[in-house]
Amino acid sequence: MTESKINTPLIPPSSHNLPDFKKSIKLKYVKLGYHYLITHGMYLFLSPLVVIFAANLSTFSLQDLQDLWNSLQYNLISVVLCSSLLVLLSTIYIVTRHRPVYLVDFSCYKPGDDRKCTMKMFVDQSRLTGEFTEENLQFQRKILERSGLGNSTYLPQGVLNIPPNPSMKEARKEAEAVMFGAIDELLAKTNVKPKDIGILIVNCSLFNPTPSLSTMVINHYKLRGNIVSYNLGGMGCSAGLISVDLAKKLLQDHRNSYALVISMENITLNWYFGNDRSKLVSNCLFRMGGAALLLSNRWSERRRSKYRLVHTVRTHKGADDKCFACVTQEEDSKGRIGVSLSKELMAVAGDALKTNITTLGPLVLPMSEQLLFFATLVGRKIFKMKIKPYIPDFKLAFEHFCIHAGGRAVLDELEKNLQLSNWQMEPSRMTLYRFGNTSSSSLWYELAYTEAKGRVNRGDRIWQIAFGSGFKCNSAVWKALRRVNPAKEKNPWIDEIDCFPVDVPKVSVI
């Protein structure tokens, strides 16, 4: 038998064969259909009942309505009791319900071009200080090349000077430039007078002078004497969301108020001039920046506000010794202070993230995802089934993601664990590239990027998530109240947004 006859099929192919449904129907559409069915199941169930009720109501005559009215006249006590109960329940609801918190607007500080620091400049400046060994200069070069940072990040003048001048005077200059620059822009955008601000919260982890940063703001803008002010220190890169959560709670007790929240970090006095490698990583990642937000609980502000705060979820793992010690400010063997990053950092961050999204999930995920997660959990724990744990699809709960731009490794890990696309990770990666790790303010540079791209539409949900020393993982969920028109916006991206996104190589050779 010839080879052609051997390869000849027993049944000749037909053009009328059924298609391979496994190939022609994508599973994602099946999942979306399931999600839609579960989410709108109640409406689908009630629709026939509504139709039946409407049909019966249409048969009512004027005589039937007259008879109903006459019957109520002879049951005055029942009418009064029902009305009283309705008024009582309405009063309880109005008094006990949480007041909505609106984000009127926010601003991000953008330093001048004289503060820009390219990667080559960073390496050259580090060498000129004479403080680092050649091995540690090469170590910093390698970290920087793989960091995901670009050549347009900013450093304060006290660090850029040769020799550097890490003094209290220079640190105050940096703090004033960042805070007042962001606040001036915010007040101009919102037309709110400083005297109208009733709550002030400033967070800066490593720089805590006396008088405090919040007092510096009060003095500069001559804020009113009965202002409720807080100065948060030592709470790491997630302190911005802690400040938002604190402002939310304060706005529940102070009616018709504005809350000004300022998130920043100070580089000048926290630059490490030693040779402990665990402390040199922060030099390569942290850069100058800050943000100011105006929150309000006034009903009149809803119309012009950008977002409504939906949820805040805070997770603190400080009771665990490993979590507590993974990010620590301490002295090296020569008495020089720096921030040490433990090798356990990524594992600790992953555990904190898991705890945080376990709490957040039931608040934001559609019922379809919760049922799948619950069914998988029951199968694994009760029936001992060998199936993979189900990871909820948070893309069904949010349109936009703002993940703290702490470093490329952090962003890579979250992209993988949350199964996010390049488009969804773009604001975080571009913020890291353009501005570096600006600590607690990075989330707002990311949201500003999303706005500058014209991606925020009314009803969109935004998830902000940040990590901080301690160890903490905090989340905030916002809902857009209107479409944000980039043509009417003023933020640090507007003048150059057409240049982004850019391709960030795994290694940027200096």
Please give, one letter per residue, the 3-state secondary structure of 354-420. Answer: HHHHHHHHHHHCCHHHHHHHHHHHHHHHCCCCCCCCCCCCHHHCCCEEEECCCCHHHHHHHHHHCCC
pLDDT digits (tens, 9 = 90+) for 129-160: 999 999 999 999 999 999 999 999 999 999 99
Domain spans of the chain? 102-482
Q: What is the mean pLDDT of residues 426-451?
A: 98
Residue-level pLDDT at 3: 41
Lowest model confidence (mean pLDDT) among 287-291, 446-450, 506-510: 506-510
Predicted confidence at residue 16, as pLDDT, reads: 40
Stretch 64-89: mean pLDDT? 73
Question: Mean of the pLDDT values across residues 415-432?
Answer: 95
pLDDT on residue 35: 57
Pairing of strands 102-108, 116-117: unpaired
pLDDT value of residue 353:
92
Joined together, the tokens standing for residue 89 give 């329940």
What integer pLDDT is reported at residue 392 of this predicted model?
83
- CA distances to 8, 243, 261 from 128, in Å: 77, 39, 38
Beta carbons within 8 Å of 327's beta carbon, 6+ residues apart: 236, 339, 340, 341, 342, 345, 468, 469, 470, 471
pLDDT band at 18 (very low <50, low <70, confident <90, very high): very low
Q: Is the pLDDT of residue 329 over 60?
A: yes
404 band by pLDDT with thresholds 50, 70 and 90 = very high
Average pLDDT of span 424-447: 98
pLDDT number for residue 373: 78
Neighbours of 403 (CB within 10 A): 27
CA-to-CA distance for 230 and 489, rounded, in angstroms? 29
User: What per-residue confidence (pLDDT) applies to 72?
Assistant: 65
| 102-482 CATH | 3.40.47.10
Confidence of residue 31 (pLDDT cuts 50, 70, 90): low
Tens digits of residue pLDDT in 242-288 = 999 999 999 999 999 999 999 999 999 999 999 999 999 999 999 99
421: left (phi over 0), alpha (psi -120 to 50) or beta: beta
Please give the mean pLDDT across all residues of the chain: 88
Measured CA to CA, the distance from residue 109 to residue 292 in angstroms comes to: 8
Tokens of 366: 């559609």
For 320: left if phi > 0, alpha if psi spans -120 to 50, otherwise beta; the answer is: beta
Residue 211's pLDDT is what? 96
Is 219 a residue whose pLDDT tops 70?
A: yes
pLDDT at residue 7 is higher than 50: no
Q: Report the catalytic residues.
A: 237, 316, 400, 404, 437
Provide mean pLDDT across the span 339-357. Answer: 91
Pick 49 or 488 by higher pLDDT.
Answer: 488
Residue 360: exposure state from Cβ atoms within 10 A (0-12, 13-18, ≥19): buried
> What is the C-alpha to C-alpha distance for residues 235 and 318, in angstroms, rounded to an integer?
11
CA geometry: angle 452, 453, 456, nearest 5 deg = 90
User: Could you tell me the pTM of the whole model?
Assistant: 0.84
Mean pLDDT of 336-357: 92
